[in-house]
A = this chain, B = another copy of it.
């Protein structure tokens, strides 16, 4: 996977404007909609059981996020997910708060069991919980896991047959064979609510235009991280950083991935 491939993928997203269907939380949903547009995609939010499968049928990717999970949403996630699987549409699962409550842990596991999830993206604690590696979660934040996150992510990806993304100072992206570290980003991304959710949305837009999920996730995280780095430069605080994050991603040229992406294989 060369820098040119990443840049070409980003250019394809911008050109094709893939629809990204979200079933997500009501906290960061507006941020997810706007960041999808800034990345080059077109967001759709729809969660009623009456329409989710039909909506999934017309999109390029499905993003499932359990940030404000409820019982009704689970049925919609399963219905949309089954449709996505039928139509070979990638599903990105963000298991927000898995490990914080049994309801979230069980639901994330159920979605992983009953659907063919394409990319599972969480923080170290959440992935640790789902991988059975004694992950620790404090509310919806990671408090780490027991063991080597790279080894755990790799083994889990291999066993589950999915691509796993562990967000952090360096994001880990692995399908169980290849392991990439994406070292773009900025600590200010942790000073606002929703950057994790947004990363999943951007990943959805890239996954819609790629057949290589490791490539899609790495390119998406690099693009989002570069925007974060640039946004931090002039920010006076977390919310002016947030404003700049959207502006910078929207203004980011695909070719920027050639020079600014910090992705290495390990």
Contact = CB atoms under 8 A, between A and B. Distances in A.
A69 B102 CA distance: 25
Contacts of A59: 139
A26 to B, nearest CB: 4
Nearest to A246: B239
A83 B250 CA distance: 43
Contacts of A37: 191-193, 238
Given A34-B238, A239-B246, A46 B68 contact: yes
A100 interface: yes
A239 B103 CA distance: 35
Interface of A: 19, 25-31, 33-34, 37-38, 42-48, 50-51, 54-55, 58-59, 67-71, 97, 100-104, 138-141, 191-194, 236-240, 242-248, 250-251
Contact of A55 (B30, B38, B71, B101): B101
Contacts of A101: 46, 50-51, 54-55
Given A237-B246, A238-B250, A68 B51 contact: no
Contact of A51 (B25, B102, B246, B251): B102
A45 B68 contact: yes
A51 B29 contact: no
Given A27-B29, A240-B243, A250-B238, A42 B139 contact: yes
Contact of A34 (B29, B42, B68, B239): B239
Contacts of A45: 25-27, 67-68
Contacts of A242: 34, 239
Given A30-B30, A34-B192, A68-B47, A141 B42 contact: yes
Given A27-B33, A238-B246, A193 B103 contact: no
B54 A103 contact: yes
Given A45-B68, A237-B251, 12 more contacts: A30-B193, A34-B242, A37-B192, A37-B238, A43-B193, A46-B68, A50-B103, A54-B101, A236-B247, A237-B244, A237-B246, A239-B243
